[in-house]
C-alpha cells in the first residue's frame, strides 16, 4: 500500500500525539513517585529497616550522608529526571523522523531497522535518567565548584593550594567552558543532562540520518547502536559526567563543514572547540589542507579566532586564562599514557639512561609526530576526515596525560568517518576491529576507575594501549582515501 502525503502526515501526527501522551503520563507518574512515595522509601532505607534491592539502591543513591542531605539531593534530582523524560520524548520523535527510509526496505532490513530504533529508544530511556540519578561524581563535582565561582563573578581559574602539585587551577579548560555554568542556574545537574542528550541525538542522527544517506547497511546500523550503548559511554557521561562529548561534536562539526567546503563555518566550529578545551587545535593544520595545498586563510582564521577569544577572556578575567596551558605542559604523565609506563616500576629504561625524564620528552615527541603525520597526509593527498582521525589518534598515542575522557573525541570522530565514507571503506573490517580493540581496553580501564580498582594497573596499562593505538593508526593510514576520495 502506498500512502500519499496526507496519509504520511496523519501517521506522523498520530505518532507525535502518542509519544507526547506517553511522556505526559510518565511525567505525572514520576511527580507522584518522587514527591509522595520516594521520601518514605528513603526514610525506611536509611533507618536500616529494609534490605530489599530497592533499599540498597536508595542507599547507593545517597551514600553515607545523613537522611536530610539525601532528601536534599533527591529534590535536586527530581526536576532533572523530569527534564530527562522530556528530552527522551524529543529523541523518540527525532528517531521516528530519521528512521524512515526513502525507498522500500527488504523484510530483513525492516526488522533490523526496527531493532536499531528499539535499541536507541530503550537504552537512552535508561541512560538519560541514570545520568541525573548518578549525581555529581569525580570531575563533575569539581565542575560544580568551578561554575559556582563563575556565577559569583570570581576568577574561574582560581588556584588551589596545598596539593602535591603545588598551586594549580582546577579549571583546565578554555573560556567557553565557563558558559556551562548557565544551565546550573536551573539545576546543578543541567549541564550533565545536556552532555547525555547531545550524545544520544548525535548517535541517532549518525545511524539513522547520515547513515541512511551514505548507504550504511541495516546490520551495520544495529551494530553501531549496540556499540554506542557500551560501558565507555555509561562511565564517561552517565556516571562521571565529563563534557568531552561536546568537544568531540565540535570537532565533527568543523570536519563536516570543511568537507562541504564551508571554510568559514569550519573555522568557527573549530574555534569553539579550542576555546572549550584546547585539544581540537591539533586539527587546524590538517583541516587547512586542500588536496595537498595549504589554505593559508583558513589556517590564519583557525589561529586568529582562538587568539581573539583568548584576548577577550583575558580582558574579562585577566592573565589567569592561560593557567590551563601551563597545567597541560607541567602535569605528570598518567593513566593510559605510554610515558606513565616509562616512569613506572615496569619501565625498561634505567633512571640514568636519559638526560631528561620520559615526561620531558613527551611534548617534543608529540609535536614531531603530528608534524610527520601532517607532512605525510599532505604528500599523499589523504582524505580530510581520515586526516582528522589520524591527528586525534596520534595525539592520544603520545600525549602524556592519558585520561580516558580524552578518548571520547576519537570514540565519536572515528565512527563518523566510518559512516560518512562507508562507500570507500567497505571490506575494511580490520579498521573497525582495530578501533574496537583499542576502545575495549579504554572501556575496561574506565570501568575499573569507576570501581576504584585500578591500583598497580596504571604502571603497565599504557603499554598495551600504546600498541593498540599504533595498530589503529596503521589501519587508518592503510584504509584512508587519497585525493579527497569518499568525501563528496
Contact by Cβ (8 Å): 241, 192: yes
Q: 216: closest CA among 121, 119, 109?
A: 109
Give the three-class secondary structure for 335: strand
| Mean of pLDDT values over 68-92 | 95
Chain segment 332-351, per-residue pLDDT in tens: 888 899 999 988 887 777 65
The phi and psi torsions of 216 (rounded to 5 degrees) equal: -65, 125
pLDDT of residue 481: 78
> Could you read off the pLDDT of 361-402 as tens digits, one per residue?
889 999 999 999 999 999 999 999 999 999 999 999 999 999
Taking 60 as the threshold, does the pLDDT of residue 487 lie above it? no
Binned at pLDDT 50, 70 and 90, residue 2 comes out as: very low
C-alpha torsion 107→112→114→118, nearest 10: 160
- C-alpha distances in Å from residue 260, one per residue of 282, 457, 484: 20, 44, 11
Average pLDDT, the chain: 90
Q: Which residues contact 49 (CB under 8 A, 6 or more apart)?
A: none
Q: CB–CB of 343/359 below 8 Å? A: yes
**Span 160-180, mean pLDDT?**
81
Which SS3 state, helix, strand or coil, does residue 28 take?
Answer: helix
- For residue 1, pLDDT over 50 is answered with no
Range 1-11 average pLDDT: 54
- The residue ranking higher by pLDDT, 412 or 455, is 412
What would the mean pLDDT of 13-19 be, rounded to a whole number? Answer: 87
pLDDT band at 98 (very low <50, low <70, confident <90, very high): confident
- Residues 393-409: tens digit of each pLDDT: 999 999 999 999 999 99
Other beta carbons less than 10 A from residue 301's beta carbon: 20
CB within 8 Å of 19: residues ≥ 6 apart: 89, 92, 93, 96
Q: Does pTM top 0.95 for this prediction?
A: no
What span, in angstroms and rounded, lies between the C-alpha atoms of 158 and 170? 7
pLDDT at site 103? 61
Q: Which three cell numbers stand for residue 146?
A: 568551578
List of E strands, 77-132: none
Strand, helix or coil for residue 402: strand
Are 420 and 385 in contact, with CB atoms under 8 Å apart? yes
What is the signed CA dihedral for 143, 148, 151, 156, rounded to 10 degrees? -60
β-bridge partners, 310: none
- pLDDT bin (cut points 50, 70, 90) of residue 452 is confident
E-only strand ranges, 157-233? 159-163, 166-169
Better pLDDT: 459 or 187: 187
In terms of C-beta density within 10 A (0-12 exposed, 13-18 middle, 19 or more buried), how is residue 109 classed?
Answer: middle
Amino acid at each position: 500500500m502506498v500512502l500519499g502525503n496526507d496519509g504520511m502526515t496523519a501517521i506522523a501526527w498520530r505518532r507525535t500525539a502518542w509519544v507526547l501522551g506517553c511522556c505526559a503520563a510518565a511525567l505525572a507518574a514520576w511527580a507522584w513517585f518522587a514527591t509522595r512515595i520516594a521520601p518514605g522509601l528513603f526514610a525506611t532505607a536509611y533507618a536500616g529497616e529494609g534490605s530489599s534491592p530497592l533499599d540498597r539502591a536508595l542507599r547507593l543513591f545517597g551514600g553515607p550522608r545523613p537522611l536530610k542531605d539525601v532528601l536534599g539531593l533527591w529534590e535536586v534530582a527530581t526536576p532533572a529526571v523530569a527534564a530527562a523524560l522530556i528530552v527522551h520524548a524529543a529523541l523518540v520523535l527525532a528517531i521516528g523522523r530519521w528512521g524512515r527510509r526513502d525507498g522500500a526496505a527488504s523484510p530483513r532490513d525492516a526488522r533490523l531497522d526496527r531493532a536499531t530504533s528499539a535499541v536507541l529508544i530503550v537504552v537512552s530511556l535508561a541512560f538519560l535518567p541514570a545520568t541525573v540519578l548518578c549525581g555529581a561524581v569525580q570531575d563533575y563535582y569539581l565542575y560544580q565548584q568551578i561554575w559556582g565561582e563563575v556565577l559569583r563573578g570570581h576568577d574561574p581559574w582560581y588556584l588551589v593550594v596545598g596539593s602535591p602539585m603545588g598551586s594549580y587551577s582546577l579549571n583546565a579548560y578554555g573560556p567557553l567552558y565557563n558558559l556551562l555554568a548557565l544551565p546550573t542556574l536551573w539545576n546543578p545537574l543541567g549541564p550533565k543532562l545536556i552532555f547525555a542528550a547531545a550524545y544520544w541525538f548525535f548517535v541517532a542522527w549518525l545511524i539513522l540520518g547520515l547513515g541512511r544517506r551514505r548507504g550504511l547497511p541495516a546490520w551495520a546500523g544495529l551494530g553501531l547502536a549496540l556499540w554506542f550503548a557500551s560501558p565507555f559511554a555509561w562511565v564517561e557521561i552517565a556516571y562521571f559526567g565529563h563534557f568531552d562529548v561536546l568537544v568531540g561534536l565540535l570537532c565533527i562539526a568543523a570536519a563536516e563543514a570543511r568537507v562541504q567546503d564551508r571554510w568559514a563555518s569550519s573555522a568557527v566550529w573549530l574555534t569553539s572547540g579550542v576555546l572549550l578545551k584546547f585539544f581540537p587545535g591539533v586539527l587546524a593544520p590538517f583541516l587547512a589542507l586542500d588536496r595537498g595545498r595549504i589554505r593559508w586563510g583558513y589556517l590564519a582564521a583557525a589561529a586568529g579566532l582562538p587568539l581573539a577569544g583568548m584576548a577577550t577572556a583575558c580582558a574579562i578575567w585577566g592573565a589567569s586564562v592561560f593557567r590551563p596551558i601551563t597545567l597541560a605542559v607541567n602535569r605528570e604523565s598518567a593513566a593510559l599514557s605510554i610515558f606513565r609506563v616509562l616512569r613506572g616500576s615496569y619501565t625498561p629504561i634505567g633512571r640514568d639512561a636519559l638526560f631528561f625524564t620520559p615526561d620531558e620528552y613527551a611534548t617534543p615527541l608529540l609535536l614531531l609526530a603530528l608534524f610527520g603525520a601532517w607532512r605525510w597526509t599532505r604528500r599523499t593527498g589523504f582524505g580530510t576526515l581520515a586526516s582528522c582521525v589520524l591527528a586525534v589518534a596520534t595525539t592520544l598515542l603520545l600525549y602524556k596525560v592519558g585520561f580516558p575522557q580524552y578518548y571520547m573525541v576519537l570514540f565519536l570522530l572515528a565512527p563518523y568517518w566510518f559512516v560518512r565514507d562507508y562507500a570507500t571503506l567497505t571490506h575494511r573490517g580490520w579498521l573497525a576491529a582495530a578501533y574496537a580493540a583499542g576502545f575495549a581496553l579504554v572501556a575496561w580501564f574506565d570501568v575499573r576507575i569507576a570501581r576504584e580498582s585500578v591500583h598497580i594497573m596504571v604502571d603497565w596499562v599504557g603499554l598495551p594501549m600504546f600498541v593498540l593505538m599504533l595498530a589503529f593508526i596503521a589501519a587508518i593510514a592503510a584504509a584512508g582515501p587519497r585525493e579527497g576520495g569518499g568525501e563528496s
